[in-house]
A and B are shown apart, each in its own frame.
Chain A
Amino acid sequence: MRRIFHALTVIALLVGFYVLCLAILAALIALDIVVTKADASTPALGREVAIAYLLTAVALYVVVRGVFVSTRVRHRHIVGVIVTDRDEPALWERVRFLARAVGTRAPSRIYLVPDVNAAVWENAKLLGLIPGRRSMMIGMPLLIALTPAQFDAVIAHELGHYGNRDTRLGALDHRARESVMAAVAAAQGRLTGRRSADGKPRRFRMPGQAVYVVVFRAYAQLVLSVTQQASRRQEFAADSVAAGIAGQANAAAGLRELPAVEAAFNFYLDRYVAAGVERDLLPAPGEVLGGFARLLAEPSRQADLDPLRHDPTAEAPDPYDSHPPIRDRIAAIEALPPDGRPLDTSDARALSTLADPTATMAAVGARMLVGNGAGKQPVDWDTLATAAGADRAARSADPLRVAVASFYQQPRPLSGFLDAVDAGQLGEILDRLPKSDGAAKVKATTRAARELAKTSMLPMVAAWALAELAAQGRVRWRNSWADAAGEIDLAPDLDEKLQAAIDALAAVQPDAGPMRAVVYAMGVPA
C-alpha cells in the first residue's frame, strides 16, 4: 500500500513537471494576448509587447528544451563495446549465474566500458511501469582491479536492484530524478558540454533564463526529497543481496575498493594517458587500459591506495546521489549476521573471466580514443614519458623564459640567457623573476634578493637545459609506474657536466661557459 502510494506520488510529480512547464507557457501566451490586444487600443505599448514576446520565446526555448531533453534521457551515448555471448561466454555465464542467484532476469545486452562503473538499466515503458529491454554496463577498470568475488558482489548489487521487486518502481524513481535533473541542466545551458575558448563552460544566459533554473531546481529538490529515501533503501537492499551471493567480506571489500579504483583510474588517465596529449601522442590502444593494470601492479601505488580503502570518505558529497555514503553501506554490510565466508585474497582478477583480456582491453581502449585520438600517434610508454618529461621541463623553465623575454623584449632560447649572464646582466634577469615565499619575507639588499631569486632560478635553468637536450634527442625519460614524472635517462658524463654547469651559474660570480659547452656541444641552432 505504501509502495503504491509512493509510486503514485512519483507519477504525480512527473506529470506535474510537464504540467508546470505547460502552465508557464500558457501564462506567458495569455500575457502576450493581453498585451497584443492592449497594443491595438494603445499604440504606445510597442516596447512592452516586444518584451512580452521575447520572454515567451525564451520560455518556449527553455521549457521545450527541458521537456524534450527530459523525455529522451536514454543511455544511448555509451562509450564502450557490446560483447555477445559468443564473444565472452564466461562473462555471460557469470552474469547469468548471478542473475539467477539474485532471482531476476539476466540482461540481454552487455557493454564493456572504460569507466569505473557498473550498471543495469531497463528501457521500461509507460513511465517505467512496463518492463523493457534490460542492459548492463561493466567498467573495464573494475574487471582489471577487482577480485572475482568482489566483482560478483558489485554485479550482484546492480542486479539486486531488479531482484527485490522494487525495481520497476525504482526505475520510475530513477527516471523522475533524471528527468528533472536533465531539465535543470538544460535550463542552465550545461547539457551540450560545449566549452568556450578559455576552457570554461559557456555561460551565455538568455534574459529570464535564471528564473527557469530556479523554478526547475526547486522542483528537482522536491522530486529528490520524495525519491531519496526509497532509493537509499533500495541500495541497502541490493547490498544485502550482494553480500548473500559473494560473501559478506567480499561485498564489503568490493565497496572499499570502488573509491580506490576510481581515484587510481583518474590519476592514471590524467598523468599517464593524457601526458603526451600536448605533443599529439597517445599510448597504443592495447596499452590505454593495459597500462592501468601495470599501474595497479606497482606495489607503491597499492600502498598509496590503502588509506582510501580504509577510510572511503573521500568521495565528494553529492546531494543528488541516490546512493548512501559508501561508509554507511559498508557498515550496513558488516552489521549483517556473519556468514563465515572468507575474504578472497588471491591474486586473481575478474579480468581473467574474459576470453582474451588483451584483445578486449585493446578494443575498449580503441573505442576510448575515438574522438580523442584524431591526429594523435600511438607510441610506447617511454616515448610518451619522454615527450611529457620534455614538456614538463619546458614548463618548469617558463618563469625564467618569461624573464629573459622581458629582458630582451622578445623571446630568446637558452643561449640568449647565457649571453646575458656573460654580459654581467644576470642580476637584471633575476630581478624579473616572480618573488618566492622566502623572498617576500626578506627585506634584503639587492644582492641578497638576487641570490635568493637565483635559488628558484637554478632548477629553471636545469629544466631549460633538459628541454633543449630533449629537443636534441640527448636526454630521454623512462616511464615509471611508481612515479608519473618518469625517470630521467641521462648519460652519466652528461649528468655530471650538467650539474657542474649549474654550479658554475650558481656561483656569486656566475659563469655561463660550462652550460654553453654542455647544451650547445653541437653548435647553437640558428
Chain B
Amino acid sequence: VSVFDKLRGKKPTFGVVGAATTPVSTSASTQPPPRTIKPAEYGLPPRAELINKVAEPHPLTVAALAAVERRDTGAIMGVIDTAGSDWERRHALVSALASRAEEDDSWLQTWLAAEPDNPIALSAYAKTLSTTAFAIRTASRAEDVASDQWEAFFRVLRQAPEHCLHAAEVAPEDPTPWVVLQTIAQGLQYDNDEYRKVFGEVVSRAPHHVHAHAAALSYWLPRWFGSDELAESFVNAATLGRPAGTLLTHLRLEWFYFERIPKTAEDRADFYHGPEVQVAIDEALADLRAASSDRPAYPTQRHWLAYFLTQAGRYAEAYDMFRQIGPYYGSWPWALAKDPVSRFTGTRAEAVMGWEDAGRPPLPGAATGDPQPTGDPEPTER
C-alpha cells in the first residue's frame, strides 16, 4: 500500500490472517477448586516463588547472555562452538540472543556491522525482527488487530527473510536460519508448498528438530494455513514410527489441546479419560524417559504431560511431573491461558488433591529414589 494512499483517504487492506491461538478454558482457571493446597507441604514452590521461564536456563544460555552483557561477540561465538552441531541447542541459543535484543538491538546491530556475514548474528537479527513483528501484532484474533498494527507487522516481518537466507548461505549445514524463517513464513502467509520447502530445509539437516516441528504444527492448524486433516497427518508423520526419545510426542498433546477438546465438561472428561489420550500420554511418558534431559524440548514435554496427566486423572504421575517442573511455568499450555500462573497453580493443586483423594499412591519417581513428600495428610482449606 502506497503511503500516498493515506493522503487520499484510503485504508490499507490486508489479506486474511488466521486467528491466533485461543486458549481453551478449563475448569481449572474459570472455577477454582474449592479446596487448595499448601505447596510447600508437598515439596512444591509456593505461588510467589514461581518463575516465568520454561525451566532453569541452560548453562550455555547463561554463558551466552553473559557474553552479550560484556559485548564480547568472540565469547558468544565460543558458546555457539561448544554447542557444535547440536542444532536444537544452537537454535535455543540464537533465540536467547534475540530475546536480549527485544528492547535494544544496538549491540546486535553493531555486531552485524562488524561481521555482516556472521550466521549467528544474522539469524538472531531475523529472529528479533520476527518477535518484534509478532509483539506488534499481539496474539489477538485477526479481527481484533488494528490496521496500523497489521501494517507495522508486515513492514517489519518482510525485512526478516533476507537475513535468514543470508545466514543459510554462509552456514549451509545449519538448520537454524530455516527454523527462524518458519515463523516468519507463517506471518508472511507463505502458501503450503512454499512452507513445505522451508520445513524441508530444516528436516533435511535436523530430522527431529522439536522446535521446528512445533512451529510447523502451528502453521498446519486450521486457524492458520492448514486444516484438520493436514494437522492430523502432520502430527502422525512427526510422531509415528519414530524412535523413543525424540521429544516430538508432545505435539500430539498440543494438537489435542488446540483442536480436539470437546466443548462440554462431560464430553471433556470422557475425552481425557478415553483411549486416544491415554495412549498419547503413555507414548509421551516413554519418549520423555528415553530422552536426554539436556535437550531444550525436555522441559516443554514435562509441562504438557503435567497438564494432560492431571486432566486424565492420573494424579500420582501428574504430581510427580509437577515436582520435576519445580517453580517454572513459562511454557505452553500455561502460557496460553489469560492468567498463566493461576492455570499452572490450579492444575497443580488439582493433581495434588487428586493424589490425596486416591490415598497417596506411590509416586513413579519413588523408584528412582526421589524423596517422598512429608506434607499434612489432609488437604487444607483456603
Contact = CB atoms under 8 A, between A and B. Distances in A.
B103 interface: yes
A488 B4 contact: yes
A508 B132 CA distance: 11
Interface in A314-339: none
Given A447-B132, A462-B4, A441 B146 contact: yes
Contacts of A463: 7
A contact patch SS: helix
Interface string B130-145: 0011011010100011
Interface in B197-217: none
A392 B146 CA distance: 25
B102 A393 contact: no
Given A447-B102, A455-B155, A502 B136 contact: no
Contact of A441 (B104, B149, B159): B149
Given A446-B104, A447-B105, A507-B159, A459 B149 contact: no
A246 interface: no
A438 B148 contact: yes
A30 interface: no
Contacts of B151: 455
B4 A485 contact: no
Interface in A489-514: 499, 502, 506-509
Chain A CB within 10 Å, residue with most, of B4, B102, B109, B129: B4
A437 B155 CA distance: 18
A9 interface: no
B124 to A, nearest CB: 14
Interface in A457-472: 458-459, 461-463, 466
Given A438-B149, A441-B140, A448 B3 contact: no
A502 B9 contact: no
Interface string A421-451: 0000000000000001111011011111001
A456 B148 contact: yes
A526 B132 CA distance: 39
B138 A442 contact: yes
A393 B9 CA distance: 12
Contacts of B105: 447
Interface residues of B, number: 31
Interface residues of A, number: 34
A463 B9 CA distance: 13
Given A462-B7, A502-B3, A441 B138 contact: yes
A107 B185 CA distance: 78
A485 B4 CA distance: 12
B7 A393 contact: yes
A407 B145 CA distance: 30
A485 B152 contact: no
A452 B136 contact: yes
A219 to B, nearest CB: 48
A454 interface: yes
Contact of B6 (A436, A451, A452, A459): A459
Interface in B88-108: 102-105
B1 to A, nearest CB: 10
Interface secondary structure of B, over-half rule: helix
Nearest to A458: B3
A396 interface: yes
B263 interface: no
A278 interface: no
A298 interface: no
Given A459-B6, A466-B7, A485-B9, A444 B148 contact: no
A483 interface: yes
Contacts of A441: 138, 140, 144, 146, 149
Nearest to A445: B102
Contacts of B148: 436-439, 452, 455-456
B67 interface: no
A197 B104 CA distance: 47
Contacts of A509: 109
B156 interface: yes
A451 B156 contact: yes
B374 interface: no
Contacts of A438: 136, 145-149, 152
A270 to B, nearest CB: 16
A392 B9 CA distance: 12
Contacts of A462: 3-4, 6-7
A483 B144 CA distance: 31
B129 A508 contact: yes
B70 interface: no
A339 B155 CA distance: 65
A444 B103 CA distance: 9
A452 B149 contact: yes
B136 A442 contact: yes
A466 B140 CA distance: 36
A506 B159 CA distance: 10
B380 interface: no
A448 B147 contact: no
Given A445-B103, A448-B135, A483 B8 contact: yes
Nearest to B102: A445
B2 interface: yes
B136 A451 contact: yes
Contacts of B132: 445, 447-448, 451
Residue among B103, B138, B152 facing the most chain A CB atoms (10 A cut-off): B152
Most chain A beta carbons < 10 A, residue from B8, B103, B144, B151? B151
B19 to A, nearest CB: 16
A476 to B, nearest CB: 14
Nearest to A454: B152
Nearest to B134: A448
A465 B156 CA distance: 23
Interface string A336-370: 00000000000000000000000000000000000
Interface in B8-54: 8-9
Which of B8, B109, B132 lies at the interface centre, i.e. has the most chain A CB atoms within 10 A of its CB? B132
A355 B267 CA distance: 85
A488 B133 CA distance: 32
A459 B103 contact: no
B136 A444 contact: yes
A483 B9 CA distance: 10
A335 B151 CA distance: 55
Contacts of A466: 7
A463 B6 CA distance: 10
A448 B103 CA distance: 8
Contacts of A445: 102-103, 132, 135
A454 B133 CA distance: 13
A143 B7 CA distance: 35
A509 B147 CA distance: 23
B151 to A, nearest CB: 5
B152 A451 contact: yes
Contacts of A502: 3
Nearest to B109: A509
B104 A455 contact: no
Contacts of A447: 102-105, 128, 132
Interface of A: 392-393, 396, 436-439, 441-442, 444-448, 451-452, 454-456, 458-459, 461-463, 466, 483, 485, 488, 499, 502, 506-509
Given A393-B7, A438-B148, 13 more contacts: A441-B140, A442-B135, A442-B138, A446-B103, A446-B104, A447-B102, A448-B102, A448-B133, A448-B135, A454-B155, A456-B148, A466-B7, A488-B8
25 contacts: A393-B7, A438-B149, A438-B152, A439-B148, A441-B138, A441-B140, A441-B144, A441-B149, A444-B135, A445-B102, A446-B103, A447-B105, A448-B102, A448-B133, A451-B136, A451-B155, A451-B156, A452-B136, A455-B155, A462-B4, A466-B7, A488-B4, A488-B8, A499-B3, A502-B3
Interface of B: 2-4, 6-9, 102-105, 109, 128-129, 132-133, 135-136, 138, 140, 144-149, 151-152, 155-156, 159
10 A-B pairs with the lowest CB-CB distances in the bound complex, closest first:
A438-B146, A448-B135, A459-B6, A438-B149, A455-B152, A438-B148, A462-B3, A445-B102, A455-B148, A452-B152
